[in-house]
A and B are shown apart, each in its own frame.
Chain A
Amino acid sequence: MLNTRNKWLVLLMSILLVGVLVGPVGQIEARTIALNGAGASFPYPLYSKWLDEYRKIAPNVAIDYQSIGSGGGIRGILEQTVDFAGSDAPMTDEQLAKAPGEIFHIPTVMGAVVITYNLKGVKTGLKLTPDVLADIFLGKITKWNDKRITSINPGVNLPAQPIVIVHRSDGSGTTNIFTDYLSSISSTWKTKVGKGTSVEWPTGIGAKGNEGVSGAVKQTPGAIGYVELAYAIQNKLPYAFLKNRAGKFVEPTLETTTAAAAGAAANMPEDMRVSIVNAPGQDAYPIAGYTYLLVYKDQKDKAKGTELVKFLWWAIHDGEKFAKELLYAPLPGNVVKLAEKKIKQINYRGEVLHK
């Protein structure tokens, strides 16, 4: 009925349509339990590793996690568009009040936020003090060869380049930890900008995700930005040493992150929503925080809930051993115990799902 020359065009269309028809068939054959998560990009490299590893031991469970930012994770769990969410910022009381059920914060690992920069000839180890850092991000220090930077970095050849600030454009827990830190060390920052998953930045380029920020820093000479430790190291981005509360310049590493958690771990609140920035301790790196998985205490689907609980349990035990190689600090033992207690409370109509 069609011209011969158009037949193959029709063929192409049919192939597309067949794709639709085959889709559901394939789905019946390989009916797996799908758990959908989304949220923080901070732990995304670790989670993608976890999901890959977990698939090997539980091939019938397809757990997906999309990195869309902590804010998106929180909205997802509130609107129930996801089965679990990731967030680096604990939910606020106001947010929790909006939820249709009780939400648990299960900490998975700790991460550090590092200051990265793109300066020709300057490698890792540029020294920064809290007030200098705050003034850079407030836009008060605009050139790399500013006296206040050069004076704490004798012997480092800093160019007369303008400082280009790169920050997150999306709502993010990384921003929350970083602005939490800046608010805790600078009263100007606290009153002018404040802390949150996205703030009104006094200056700078916005980029999406940890990925976007380190990408933009890498591409822009004279740039400075904040990213998660793992991103900086895996990308071989240089990072700054920060002066901590004890007055020591500390390199961000797994050890110094753990050191920051050590003090805070003792007085961990029961709901595990806690800030550990600017922690005391000789070796404590000052910009660190937990990242959480958010789940409902009362699950609505028994099969899904069961698999979710299994996965969470696996994550805080077996999963932790992948943390170090991906540069996340594993949870301290007492925090694992607290998390266990929470996981054991997850239930389906009163029936505890953990076995």
Chain B
Amino acid sequence: MRKKSYKAWLEGDIAFRGFTYLAALSLVGVVLAILWVLVEKSQLTFTKFGPGFALGSRWDPVHGVFGALPLVYGTVVSSLIALAIALPLSLGIAIYLTQLAPHWLRGPVSFLVELLAAIPSVVYGLWGVFVLVPWVRSSVEPVLGSALGFLPLFRGAPYGFGMLAAGIILAIMITPTISAVSREVLLAVPRSQQEAMLALGATRWETIRMVVLPYGRSGILGAAILGLGRALGETMAVTMVIGNRPQISPSLFELAQTIASIIANEFSEAFNDLHLSALVAAGFILFVITLLLHVMARLLVWRVARVPQGVTRE
């Protein structure tokens, strides 16, 4: 009797363990399946163009010539613009929320910033098309063009749509990610060091500059990379505002195309096998880029502070 129940006891455990084990393996299975589809379906392109696919600068479905460079360029540059805007902003927010804001305000403000992360990408896109793009066209680009038009960055016709609009919308979207992670990183800075600094007569800013920021440096870097990773793979909002033209142009006013946006545009209607496989191949490149960035970010953030759950929404 007793022996039997002991056996049941064991069997229950083994079965339960087995279930959880299988569930865990399913994650590995899913990622391998995704990888398999990407590799399998991009065969045609990589055998035809070789690794040069990543460096080809023409994307011409009519003549069957595909090179991913304009897409990689669009993806990387729009994300870097986003980072250039979002990083200082997020640092400001993180500093304000951890060092300066009155305590009663910290909760509500960080909640509001995190709300930005909850807004669906397609809603950003809708707002981008009807609010942001007209504003960029009528206010931002003419002002930048006349003030800084001597730089090739700010030349050309103000379309509204284009690299700049995509960069701005991405910046808004990644700010909550970067600021939340930076906040955690800054919170992990030992209180005693800051107090020591203040006791020596330093101002608050000097404390931040000489103690807080250096201490959190690699964590902030990790946060930035995490944000960058999110920007690289962002699809809908970018597709709706970037202008969808695969080209490499120094001007931020110009239209561009990212890997994700070209897939959204062309995947459902590409009918010849080469075109389709070229899109998948571009997706494969995106996969590899985000993978590398992600690994880097994790390593950096892990070193400093545990990433709080619910913060990384990518």
Do any beta carbons of A and B sit within 8 angstroms of each other in the complex?
A: yes
Q: Measured between C-beta atoms, what is the minimum distance from A66 to chain B in Å?
A: 9
| CB < 8 Å neighbour of B245 from A194, A198, A206, A208 | A206
B59, CB-defined interface residue at 8 Å: yes
B5, CB-defined interface residue at 8 Å: no
| CB < 8 Å neighbour of A200 from B63, B159, B160 | B63
Query: Are A198 and B157 in contact, CB atoms less than 8 angstroms apart?
Result: no
Q: Measured between C-beta atoms, what is the minimum distance from A114 to chain B in Å?
A: 22
- Find residues 151-203 in chain A having any chain B CB closer than 8 Å to their own CB: 162, 164, 169-172, 193-201
Query: Are A171 and B160 in contact, CB atoms less than 8 angstroms apart?
Result: no
- Chief secondary structure at chain A's binding surface: loop
Specify which chain A residues have a CB less than 8 angstroms from the CB of B63 in the assembled complex: 194, 200
Query: Are B244 and A206 in contact, CB atoms less than 8 angstroms apart?
Result: yes
A291, CB-defined interface residue at 8 Å: no
Nearest A residue to B267 via CB reads: A72
CA distance A16 to B272 in the complex (A): 39
Query: Are A169 and B271 in contact, CB atoms less than 8 angstroms apart?
Result: no
Contact bitstring A202-236, B, C-beta under 8 A = 1, else 0 = 00111110000001100110100000000000000
Contact bitstring A88-109, B, C-beta under 8 A = 1, else 0 = 0000000100000000000000
A312, CB-defined interface residue at 8 Å: no
Query: Are B245 and A75 in contact, CB atoms less than 8 angstroms apart?
Result: no
CA distance A89 to B19 in the complex (A): 52
Contact bitstring B92-115, A, C-beta under 8 A = 1, else 0 = 000000000000000000000000
Query: Are B245 and A162 in contact, CB atoms less than 8 angstroms apart?
Result: no
- Find residues 37-67 in chain B having any chain A CB closer than 8 Å to their own CB: 58-63
Q: Measured between C-beta atoms, what is the minimum distance from A166 to chain B in Å?
A: 9
Q: Measured between C-beta atoms, what is the minimum distance from B263 to chain A in Å?
A: 12
A37, CB-defined interface residue at 8 Å: no
Specify which chain A residues have a CB less than 8 angstroms from the CB of B243 in the assembled complex: 205-206
Query: Are A170 and B271 in contact, CB atoms less than 8 angstroms apart?
Result: no
- Find residues 34-90 in chain A having any chain B CB closer than 8 Å to their own CB: 68-75, 78
CA distance A292 to B60 in the complex (A): 26
Nearest B residue to A68 via CB reads: B268
Nearest B residue to A91 via CB reads: B271
Nearest A residue to B257 via CB reads: A206
| CB < 8 Å neighbour of B265 from A162, A204, A206 | A206
| CB < 8 Å neighbour of A71 from B137, B159, B255, B269 | B269
Q: Measured between C-beta atoms, what is the minimum distance from B238 to chain A in Å?
A: 13
Contact bitstring B233-257, A, C-beta under 8 A = 1, else 0 = 0000001000111000000000101
| CB < 8 Å neighbour of B161 from A170, A201, A216, A222 | A216
Residue of A74, A206, A219 most packed against chain B (CB within 10 A): A206
Query: Are A205 and B159 in contact, CB atoms less than 8 angstroms apart?
Result: yes
Query: Are B61 and A170 in contact, CB atoms less than 8 angstroms apart?
Result: no
Interface range, B side: 20 to 34
If A162-B157, A170-B265 touch, does A199 touch B62 (CB 8 Å cutoff)? yes
CA distance A225 to B268 in the complex (A): 23
B11, CB-defined interface residue at 8 Å: no
| CB < 8 Å neighbour of A205 from B60, B245, B269, B270 | B245
Query: Are A95 and B271 in contact, CB atoms less than 8 angstroms apart?
Result: yes
Nearest B residue to A162 via CB reads: B157
Q: Measured between C-beta atoms, what is the minimum distance from A210 to chain B in Å?
A: 13
Specify which chain A residues have a CB less than 8 angstroms from the CB of B255 in the assembled complex: 204-206
CA distance A216 to B245 in the complex (A): 14
CA distance A193 to B159 in the complex (A): 24
Residue of B60, B243, B255, B272 most packed against chain A (CB within 10 A): B272
Q: Measured between C-beta atoms, what is the minimum distance from B146 to chain A in Å?
A: 15
Q: Measured between C-beta atoms, what is the minimum distance from A211 to chain B in Å?
A: 12
Q: Measured between C-beta atoms, what is the minimum distance from A203 to chain B in Å?
A: 9
CA distance A74 to B269 in the complex (A): 8
Nearest A residue to B134 via CB reads: A219
Specify which chain A residues have a CB less than 8 angstroms from the CB of B268 in the assembled complex: 68-69, 72, 170
| CB < 8 Å neighbour of B270 from A75, A95, A164 | A75
If A71-B271, A169-B245 touch, does A208 touch B265 (CB 8 Å cutoff)? yes
Query: Are B271 and A72 in contact, CB atoms less than 8 angstroms apart?
Result: yes
Specify which chain B residues have a CB less than 8 angstroms from the CB of A70 in the assembled complex: 269
Query: Are A164 and B157 in contact, CB atoms less than 8 angstroms apart?
Result: yes
- Find residues 183-197 in chain B having any chain A CB closer than 8 Å to their own CB: none
| CB < 8 Å neighbour of B271 from A75, A200, A219 | A75
CA distance A296 to B97 in the complex (A): 64
B314, CB-defined interface residue at 8 Å: no
CA distance A295 to B255 in the complex (A): 38
Specify which chain B residues have a CB less than 8 angstroms from the CB of A205 in the assembled complex: 159, 161, 243-245, 255
B13, CB-defined interface residue at 8 Å: no
Query: Are A201 and B245 in contact, CB atoms less than 8 angstroms apart?
Result: yes
Nearest A residue to B243 via CB reads: A205
If A95-B271, A170-B266 touch, does A196 touch B245 (CB 8 Å cutoff)? no
Q: Measured between C-beta atoms, what is the minimum distance from B73 to chain A in Å?
A: 16
Query: Are A72 and B265 in contact, CB atoms less than 8 angstroms apart?
Result: no
Residue of B133, B268, B269 most packed against chain A (CB within 10 A): B269
Query: Are A164 and B62 in contact, CB atoms less than 8 angstroms apart?
Result: no
Specify which chain B residues have a CB less than 8 angstroms from the CB of A164 in the assembled complex: 157, 159
Specify which chain A residues have a CB less than 8 angstroms from the CB of B160 in the assembled complex: 219-220
Q: Measured between C-beta atoms, what is the minimum distance from B190 to chain A in Å?
A: 35
Q: Measured between C-beta atoms, what is the minimum distance from A57 to chain B in Å?
A: 31
Specify which chain B residues have a CB less than 8 angstroms from the CB of A208 in the assembled complex: 239, 244, 265
Specify which chain B residues have a CB less than 8 angstroms from the CB of A74 in the assembled complex: 271
Specify which chain B residues have a CB less than 8 angstroms from the CB of A216 in the assembled complex: 161
Q: Measured between C-beta atoms, what is the minimum distance from A172 to chain B in Å?
A: 8
A69-B268, A70-B269, A200-B58 known; 18 new pairs, CB 8 Å cut-off, are: A71-B269, A72-B270, A75-B270, A75-B271, A164-B159, A169-B245, A171-B61, A171-B266, A172-B269, A195-B62, A197-B269, A199-B61, A200-B60, A200-B61, A205-B255, A215-B129, A219-B129, A219-B160
- A/B interface sample: 8 pairs, CB < 8 A: A170-B268, A194-B62, A200-B60, A208-B265, A216-B161, A220-B137, A220-B160, A220-B161
Which 4 A-B residue pairings sit nearest by Cβ, starting from the closest? Answer: A72-B269, A206-B244, A69-B269, A200-B60
